[in-house]
Amino acid sequence: MMQQLAMQQMASEPLLKVENLVVEYAVGGRTVHAVSDVSLDIARGETLGLVGESGCGKSTLGRAVLQLRQAVSGKVLFDGHDLTAMHGDALRRMRRRVQLIFQDPIASLNPRRRIGDIVAEPLVISGVKDPDKRRQAVHDVLAAVGLDPALVVNRLPHEFSGGQCQRICIARALVLNPDFVICDEPVSALDVSIRAQILNLLEEMKARYGLTLLFIAHDLAVVKAVSDRVAVMYLGRLCEVGPSEQLFATPAHPYTALLLEAIPVPDPDVRPTESVAVGEPPSPIAPPSGCRFRTRCPRADARCAAEVPELRTVAPGQSAACHHPLI
Amino acid sequence: MSGALLSVQDAVVDLPTPRGNLRAVDHVDLSVGAGRTLGIVGESGCGKTMLSRAILQLLPKKAKLSGRVMFDGQDLPQLSPEKLRKLRGQSLAVVFQDPMTSLNPVLTIGTQLIETIQEHLELDLAEARKRSIELLAAVGIPAPEQRLAQYPHQLSGGMRQRVAIAIALSCEPKLLIADEPTTALDVTIQAQILDLLAREQQRRHMAMIIITHDLGVVAGRTDEVAVMYAGRVVERAPTPALFKQMRMPYTEALLAALPKLDAAPHTPLPAISGRPPDPTRPLKGCSFAPRCRYAAGRCNTEKPALSAAETPEHVYACFHPIETRARVEA
C-alpha cells in the first residue's frame, strides 16, 4: 500500500515539463516564430500526441526539448532537471535517457555502415567499452523490434525496405534503454500496410521498455491510435490539449474541429463536406496578431485580433486557447 | 467497355533492371466512361503510377508496353509523337504529386499557363492571358492577375497545386489524371484541393482518374475503384460496392490496417504482415498469398484470374474471396 502510494506520487510528477518555451529562427534578417510560449507536461508512461500541419513548429518543439535547438526563453524540465541550463557532459549524460526517431528511416541511417555498427553506435558514444556487452545489447534490441539479429547485423541499410529501416532506427533509439522517446512523424514515409506494423511495434516497445513518448505527426488518426493525450499546434502556438478520446469527440478549439473535418473518411456513405477549410496558414514570419488562427476561423471577431487567448480549462483535463471555444 | 472514353486492354509494362525484368504492370484492364471518376488505389511500387504513365504514353524510354490503350477512339501507342503531343494537354491532362517539380521554376506562372493555352488553342496573347486569369480565379487563387507575374517558389504548396490544376484544365480536357494530387499537401489543404477537383470535374463533365494510396481519398469522391497489388488489378468495383462488400482479402486488410478516428486509443491495428513481393521475382501463385490470412492450397501455385462477383461490375482476383456477411460476423 505504501509502495503503491509512493509509485502514484512518482507517477503524478511529470517526466517532462515544458514551460513557456520560445524558439525563433533568423531567416534573411527576419524572425520565424517557430514555437511561441508553449507549455506542456508529459506524465511518466504516457504518450502525448502532438499534431499540426507542416510549419506549425511541432518538429522544432521536439528538437528544442532535446536541446538540438536553442530556445530563446523558457524551460525544459526533464525528470526535474532543466535541460536548457545544462551543457557539455551533464547534457550528454541526460540525453542518453532521451532518444529521437525520425520521419525518413532510410535517410537517417548511414548508408555505408553495417546495421550492427549503426545500432551499437549509441553504446560506443555512451562509453560501453566491452564489445561482448555491446554485441549482446544490439542482439537483444534487434530481436525485440522483430528483426533476426544474425541475418541483419552485417548488412547495409540499402538492403532493407523502409519499414525494416524504421525498425532499425527504433532499435538504435532503444539500445540505451531510454526513458523518453520523441517520435517525429515515424510512420508518414511508410505505406499503409507497413504503417500499422510500426505503430503496433511502438506500442509494444513502449510497454516492454516502460517508455514515455512524445509522438509528433500530422495525421490525426495515427496520433489517436497511440496517444493518451493529444496536443494540437497551429503556427507555433498550442491550441488545445486533452485526453485523446475526449478531444476527438468534443473538440473545443475551432482549429481542432477543422482538422477533424478535413480528414477523408474511408466510407463512401460519408459525403465529404464542401471546403470547411478556408485559406491557408499564414507565414510564421509575420503571424497574425492575437489568436494566430483567427484569419481562417469562422468564429473570429475583434477580440481575437487584439488579445492572445490563453490556454484555459474547458472540460476536465481538456484546455483550449480560444476566446470562443466550441464547448 | 463500349462507349468508354478510355479503355486499357491487357496492358503490360516491363522495365529492364540490373536485377532482371521488372513487370510493373501485369495484364491490366480498365475503362473510364466520359464524365466518370475512377480511383486507383495501391501502395508504393504496386504499379499505379506506371499504369498512369502508360495511359499518358509517358513511360521511361526503356520500358516496354504491350496491350492497347484506347482513348477517344484512338489506340495511343500507335499514334505519332506529334499527334500524341497534341492530344496530351488538349484532351488528356495530368496533375502530378509534387507541384514544385511539375512546374518550371524559372518561368512565371503566367508564362506557363499562357504557353499551354496558346500551344493547344488558337488564341492570341491577350485572349490567352484573359483566359489564364479566369482559370486561376476558378481554381481559387486570390488576386489572379498579380499571380501571373509570380514564380512557383513564391507560392505555397497548395497554391502551386492549384496552378498545376489550372494548367491541366486550361484546354478543357476530356480526361484528367491526378496522380497522388494531395499527398504532398497538408490535410486542410488536401480537402480544399479534392473539393476543387470534384467541382471542376462535375462542371466540365470531365472524366477523372485519381491515383492514391489513401482509401479515404477515393471513398467519397469516385464512381469506381480499382485496387492494385504487385502490378495487377486485384479488385475493381463501383465505390459503394467495394467498401460494403469487399471480396479481395488485400482490400480488406488495407482498410483494416488504417488507424480509425473512432477507435479507442491503443487499439492494436490489424497490420498486414510482411511486405509486397519483389517485382523482379514474380510469384507463381497469387502475389498476396504470402501475406494473406486466407491463403491455402492453390493460392501459392496458381494465379487467380479476375472474376465477377454478384454483379459484372464487381470483379476480384481471389480463390478464397471474403464471403461478405459470414466472414464479417465470424
> For the residues of B90-137, what is the DSSP string, one character each?
HTEEEE-S-HHHHS-TTS-HHHHHHHHHHHHS---HHHHHHHHHHHHH
Torsion of the alpha carbons at B245, B246, B247 and B249, rounded to the nearest 10: -140
| CA A51/CA A240 separation, integer angstroms | 10
Residue B23: helix, strand or coil by DSSP?
A: strand
Closest Cα in chain A, distance from residue B78 (Å): 36
Q: Report pLDDT for B36.
A: 96
In contact, A193 and A199? CB cutoff 8 Å: no
Question: Is it the case that residue A153 has pLDDT exceeding 70?
Answer: yes
Residue A244: helix, strand or coil by DSSP?
A: helix
In contact, A172 and A118? CB cutoff 8 Å: yes
User: Which of A280, A295, A296 best probes binding to B when mutated, by most B CB atoms within 10 angstroms?
Assistant: A280
Contact B194 A227 (CB under 8 A): no
Confidence tier at A263 by pLDDT (50, 70, 90): confident
Contact B195 A272 (CB under 8 A): yes
Buried residues in B193-216 as b, exposed as e (16+ CB within 10 A): bbbbbbebbeeeebbbbbbbbbbb
Residue A12: helix, strand or coil by DSSP?
A: helix
Residue B183 touches chain A, beta carbons under 8 Å: no
Q: Which residues of A touch B198 (CB under 8 A)?
A: 272
Q: Listing from the earlier edge strand, what are the strands of the sheet with A180-184?
A: A98-101, A180-184, A212-217, A47-51, A229-234, A237-243, A318-320, A312-315
How many CA atoms, within 13 angstroms, populate the side-chain half-sphere of residue A128?
A: 18
User: Which of B44, B187, B196, B287 best probes binding to A when mutated, by most A CB atoms within 10 angstroms?
Assistant: B187
Beta-strand pair B175-179/A30-42 = unpaired
Cite the DSSP H helix spans in chain A.
Answer: 2-12, 58-65, 88-95, 115-125, 131-144, 149-152, 162-174, 192-209, 220-226, 244-249, 254-262, 302-306
Residue A150 touches chain B, beta carbons under 8 Å: no
Q: What is the 3-state secondary structure (H, E, C) of A123-157?
A: HHHCCCCCHHHHHHHHHHHHHHCCCCHHHHCCCCH
Which residues 139-178 in chain B show a CB within 8 A of chain A?
A: 156, 158-159
Which residue of B215, B258, B264 is in closest CB contact with A245? B264
Q: Which residues of B touch A265 (CB under 8 A)?
A: 216, 219-220, 261
Q: What is the ipTM of this complex?
A: 0.84
In contact, A216 and A17? CB cutoff 8 Å: no
In contact, A323 and A246? CB cutoff 8 Å: no
Question: Is it the case that residue A233 has pLDDT exceeding 70?
Answer: yes
In contact, B193 and B158? CB cutoff 8 Å: yes
Contact B265 A203 (CB under 8 A): no
In degrees, rounded to 5, the angle at the alpha carbon of residue B81 between the alpha carbons of residues B80 and B82 is: 90
In contact, A97 and A180? CB cutoff 8 Å: yes
Contact A264 B189 (CB under 8 A): no
Contact B187 A219 (CB under 8 A): yes
In contact, B139 and B170? CB cutoff 8 Å: no
Which of the 8 DSSP states describes residue B164?
H
Average pLDDT over residues A168-177: 96
Q: Which residues of A touch B221 (CB under 8 A)?
A: 272
In contact, A174 and A144? CB cutoff 8 Å: yes
Question: Is it the case that residue A4 has pLDDT exceeding 70?
Answer: no
Residues facing residue A75 across a β-bridge: A19
Contact B219 A275 (CB under 8 A): no
Closest Cα in chain B, distance from residue A250 (Å): 12
Question: Is it the case that residue A61 has pLDDT exceeding 50?
Answer: yes
Number of residues in chain A? 327
Helix (H), strand (E) counts: chain A: 12, 12
Q: Which residues of A touch B258 (CB under 8 A)?
A: 192, 196, 221, 266
Q: Report pLDDT for A3.
A: 59
| CA A49/CA A33 separation, integer angstroms | 22
Q: Which residues of B touch A161 (CB under 8 A)?
A: 275
| CA B269/CA B245 separation, integer angstroms | 21
The interaxial angle of helices A254-262 and B187-203, nearest 10 deg, is 50
Confidence tier at A292 by pLDDT (50, 70, 90): very high
Which residue would you say has higher pLDDT here, A263 or B247?
Answer: B247
Buried residues in A318-327 as b, exposed as e (16+ CB within 10 A): bbbbbbbbee
DSSP string, B173-217: -SEEEEESTTTTS-HHHHHHHHHHHHHHHHHTT-EEEEEES-HHH
List of residues 6+ apart from B72 with CB closer than 8 A: B5, B6, B91, B174
| CA A256/CA A318 separation, integer angstroms | 12
Average pLDDT over residues A231-255: 96
| CA A303/CA A290 separation, integer angstroms | 8
User: Which of B155, B160, B188, B201 best probes binding to A when mutated, by most A CB atoms within 10 angstroms?
Assistant: B188
Closest Cα in chain B, distance from residue A227 (Å): 6
Residue A54 touches chain B, beta carbons under 8 Å: yes
Q: How far apart are the first and last CA of chain A?
A: 39
Which residue of A54, A191, A270 is in closest CB contact with B186? A54
Confidence tier at A299 by pLDDT (50, 70, 90): very high
List of residues 6+ apart from B9 with CB closer than 8 A: B1, B29, B67, B68, B69, B70
Residue A220 touches chain B, beta carbons under 8 Å: yes
Q: Report pLDDT for B330.
A: 39
In contact, A54 and A235? CB cutoff 8 Å: no
Q: Report pLDDT for A141.
A: 96
Beta-strand pair A229-234/A47-51 = parallel
DSSP H/E element including A54: none
Residue A295 touches chain B, beta carbons under 8 Å: no
Q: Which residues of B touch A264 (CB under 8 A)?
A: 190-191, 194, 214, 216-217, 219-220
In contact, B139 and B178? CB cutoff 8 Å: no
Q: Which residues of chain B have pLDDT under 50?
A: 1, 325-330
Integer-rounded Cα radius of gyration of chain A: 21
Residue B230 touches chain A, beta carbons under 8 Å: no
Nearest Cα to B276, choosing from B15, B26, B59, B13? B26
In degrees, rounded to 5, the angle at the alpha carbon of residue B227 between the alpha carbons of residues B221 and B233 is: 135
Closest Cα in chain B, distance from residue A191 (Å): 6
In contact, B156 and B164? CB cutoff 8 Å: no
